[in-house]
């Protein structure tokens, strides 16, 4: 995809002039993610030469998507109140804009291009090998350069964000890569953005997440919740708090890292259960049968809860869980004493406590 940039700020709103012959007579829509759903904000039917124009007002800069109505394939376009010119073909498109978040995003993308090209190359080889029946160990060897390119891209992102702490592109990257940050780190990052970005959905989401992180940080009292257990009966987290040290384990049957971690958790449970240690599993599953099958297959003999709402899990939201496995360790008084301990760290902590 070739991208060139030319535009000027438009105080009356945005204008997108489209000239794409391969979309002649097609309905083209400007779309945005709202609460996890793709919503059409504006649309136009292009004429027989593929020409048309969209116009409106953007309340705050945000990544949106331009494409043919009803077609999942879309062109990302970082929208703000600027004039854009989109031309060429869908496979080789040009976006002319000389300022604003799209211009900044293109600079960022130029820097990540080598990593993206390497990952695409590796994935092509990987899928060919998998289709040919290559064994799992060999597939992992093939994927190693992909992981290395991902690490390099993550390092590039960190440098870019540090060099551009108030950029809307940095806010966009932060929204997509905040997992693993402490509340102090996230708060520090958010303080770098000026008032002009406080109205974005990205800033609102991260601010809300930060408040949830603070409410369940180490030293805080646990927050109770109620979910169905494996028999369908409603149980509360408070039903398991108070008898000793309790590990709240957020996981799912579909989560590979969770399933790989389970044998170690089982070993620790067997070692410390008689000494006052217990676990309650909180699953982010959607399929009840797969959830129950995984419990049995991994011999997870402790109590379990799930509303089967996937990432919309009520409990996961309360505890600011955005990736799994995710664990929260409570003392006998229901105080959060640790989060996301490794297997060795958990064993060491239990030796200390019990």
Give domain status of residue 104, yes or no.
no
Q: Measured between alpha carbons, how far is 79 from 65 in angstroms, rounded to an integer?
A: 9
Would the pLDDT of 252 be above 90?
Answer: yes
Same domain? For 139 and 248 the reply is: no
Query: Could you read off the pLDDT of 71-112 as tens digits, one per residue?
Result: 878 899 999 999 999 998 888 888 888 788 999 998 999 999
> At what angle are helices 256-272 and 343-353 packed, to 10 degrees?
20
Q: Measured between alpha carbons, how far is 189 from 210 in angstroms, rounded to an integer?
A: 11
Report pLDDT for 11: 64
Same domain? For 247 and 273 the reply is: yes
Same domain? For 233 and 339 the reply is: yes
Report pLDDT for 18: 94
Report pLDDT for 8: 47
In order of 23, 123, 149, the CA distances from 127 in angstroms are 31, 6, 17
Of 184, 215, 246, which residue is a domain's last?
Answer: 215
Report pLDDT for 180: 76
Domain holding 46: CATH number? 2.60.40.1120
Report pLDDT for 91: 80
Give domain status of residue 220, yes or no.
no
Give domain status of residue 6, yes or no.
no
Report pLDDT for 178: 87
Q: Measured between alpha carbons, how far is 24 from 182 in angstroms, rounded to an integer?
A: 49
Question: Any residues with CB less than 8 A from the CB of 117 and at least 6 apart, and which?
Answer: none
Same domain? For 234 and 293 the reply is: yes
Same domain? For 243 and 204 the reply is: no
Would the pLDDT of 227 be above 90?
Answer: yes
Give domain status of residue 87, yes or no.
yes
Give domain status of residue 199, yes or no.
yes
| Boundaries of domain holding 242 | 226-353
Same domain? For 236 and 322 the reply is: yes
Would the pLDDT of 4 be above 60?
Answer: no
Would the pLDDT of 262 be above 60?
Answer: yes
Give domain status of residue 174, yes or no.
yes
Give domain status of residue 109, yes or no.
no
Of 99, 125, 152, which residue is a domain's last?
Answer: 99
Torsion angles phi and psi, residue 26, rounded to 5: -90, 155
Report pLDDT for 5: 37
Query: Could you read off the pLDDT of 25-82 as tens digits, one per residue?
Result: 999 999 998 877 888 999 999 999 999 999 999 888 999 999 988 887 889 999 999 9
Tell me the pLDDT of the chain averaged across its residues: 91
Torsion angles phi and psi, residue 293, rounded to 5: -65, -40
Mean pLDDT of 258-282: 96
Same domain? For 336 and 241 the reply is: yes
Report pLDDT for 17: 95
Mean pLDDT of 270-284: 96
Q: Which two tokens stand for residue 170?
A: 């940095």
Report pLDDT for 73: 83
Same domain? For 174 and 140 the reply is: yes
Same domain? For 81 and 192 the reply is: no
Query: Could you read off the pLDDT of 182-213 as tens digits, one per residue?
Result: 889 899 999 989 888 998 989 999 999 999 99
| pLDDT confidence bin for 268, thresholds 50/70/90 | very high
Of 74, 99, 124, which residue is a domain's last?
Answer: 99
Domain holding 316: CATH number? 3.40.30.10
Q: How many domains in the chain?
A: 3
Same domain? For 273 and 346 the reply is: yes
Same domain? For 265 and 323 the reply is: yes
Same domain? For 262 and 291 the reply is: yes
Give domain status of residue 3, yes or no.
no
Supply the DSSP string of 146-195, one letter for each residue. HHHHHHHHHHHHHHHHHH-TT-HHHHHHHHHH-TT--HHHHHHHHTTS-G
């Amino acid at each position: 995809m070739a991208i060139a940039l030319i535009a000027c700020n438009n105080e009356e709103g945005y204008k997108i002039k489209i000239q794409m012959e391969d979309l002649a007579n097609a309905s083209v829509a400007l779309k945005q993610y709202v609460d996890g759903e793709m919503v059409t904000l504006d649309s136009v039917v292009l004429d027989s030469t593929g020409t048309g124009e969209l116009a409106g007002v953007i309340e705050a800069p945000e990544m949106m998507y331009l494409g043919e109505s009803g077609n999942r394939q879309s062109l990302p376009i970082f929208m703000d109140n600027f004039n854009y010119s989109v031309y060429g073909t869908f496979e080789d498109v040009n976006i002319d804009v000389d300022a604003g978040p799209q211009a900044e995003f293109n600079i960022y993308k130029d820097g990540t291009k080598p990593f993206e090209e390497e990952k695409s190359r590796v994935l092509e080889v990987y899928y060919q090998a998998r289709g040919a029946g290559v064994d799992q160990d060999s597939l992992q060897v093939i994927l190693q350069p992909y992981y290395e390119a991902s690490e390099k891209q993550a390092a590039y992102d960190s440098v870019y964000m540090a060099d551009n702490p108030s950029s809307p592109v940095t806010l966009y990257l932060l929204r997509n890569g905040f997992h693993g940050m402490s509340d102090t780190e996230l708060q520090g990052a958010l303080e770098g953005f000026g008032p002009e970005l406080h109205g974005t959905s990205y800033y609102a989401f991260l601010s809300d997440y930060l408040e949830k992180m603070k409410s369940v940080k180490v030293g805080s009292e646990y927050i109770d919740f109620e979910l169905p257990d494996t028999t369908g009966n409603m149980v509360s987290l408070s039903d398991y708090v108070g008898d000793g040290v309790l590990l709240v384990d957020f996981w799912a049957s579909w989560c590979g890292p969770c399933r790989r971690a389970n044998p170690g958790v089982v070993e620790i449970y067997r070692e410390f259960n008689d000494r006052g240690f217990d676990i309650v599993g909180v699953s982010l599953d959607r399929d009840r049968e797969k959830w129950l099958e995984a419990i049995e297959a991994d011999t997870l003999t402790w109590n379990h809860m799930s509303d089967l709402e996937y990432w919309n899990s009520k409990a996961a939201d309360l505890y600011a869980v955005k990736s799994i496995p995710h664990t929260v360790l409570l003392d006998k008084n229901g105080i959060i004493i640790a989060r996301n301990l490794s297997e060795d760290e958990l064993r060491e902590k239990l030796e200390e406590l019990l």
